[in-house]
Amino acid sequence: MHQNLGYEFFNRYDIGDTPDEFTDAAGKFSEMLCWYGCAIKEIRTKLEVLNEEFKAKKSRNPIESIRTRVKSPMSIYEKMERRGYEITLDSIMGELHDIAGVRVICPFIDDIYMVSEMITRQDDITVLERKDYIKHPKPNGYRSLHLVLEIPVFLSTGKRPIKVEVQIRTMAMDFWASLEHQIHYKKFKEDKVEIVEQLLDCATVIYETDLKMQSIHKELFSVKDLRKEYSVRESEIEKKYTKVRRLSV
């Protein structure tokens, strides 16, 4: 099937009848993919800025890593075909919201909501969709916060709004999702119900661990913050007394 897909793709996608028309159509398609790549760069930079600022203020990174991808032409074709959409640039850009994908991995659950809040309140970003699969996990146990954002990309011809799908999850949620994806990918048929149940169990255990790690972190941080506050207060008192001592001499 895949061998014919390339041919079928070009057959369905309006590539014209002459070499010039073909070159023009192929050029427009790769130009479109380039816009999505640029939108990813913008989102990545915004996330990196937030991460660096947070690190400078709190000595800790709320983002552990960022992965990105632009959907391949074949996946674009397959999804459009599967959903029965016309395959034109306009309908591809209108119908698909995951051509540009950004995956943000955070250490703790609270970081997910903080990162999401910090990025969505920026005034050049429009939130088109928000799905909270952490508060409402999928029946199979999948957890993650999904956002579909629209960001303007400034091209030579002007400003173009581009959609980017952002998935934010903890390292633990990512561990589960990556393995679950591999298992599904290999399509284990036998003992399917049992496998689904086992995966759900793993997701629950992983989530409980996430919650535990979060509360340990909170506890440690509040002790650290108290100590910091205490030592600041101490040094302020010390300064005050030194001044008083100096004045009284």
With respect to Mg ion, which residue has the nearer C-beta, 174 or 210?
A: 174
Nearer to ligand GTP, 162 or 177 (CB): 177
Residue nearest to Mg ion (CB): 98
Using the 8-state DSSP alphabet, how is residue 71 labeled? P
Active site residue 53: no
Phi, psi of 65 (to 5 degrees): -160, 160
β-strand 65-70 against 126-132: which pairing, if any?
unpaired
180 binds, among Mg ion, ligand GTP, none (CB under 5 to 8 A by kind): ligand GTP
Q: Which of 131, 161, 175, 217 is the binder for ligand GTP (CB under 6 A)? A: 131
Binding mask 42-81 for ligand GTP (x = CB under 6 A): ----------------------------------------
Q: How many other C-beta atoms lie within 10 A of the C-beta of residue 166?
A: 26
Structure token digits, residue 65 = 């890593």
Q: Any contact of residue 142 with ligand GTP (CB under 6 A)?
A: yes
Binding-site member from 76, 164, 177, 199 for ligand GTP (CB under 6 A):
177
Alpha helices (H) in the chain, listed in sequence order? 2-12, 19-58, 73-82, 89-95, 109-120, 171-185, 192-248
Give the catalytic positions in this structure.
Answer: 165
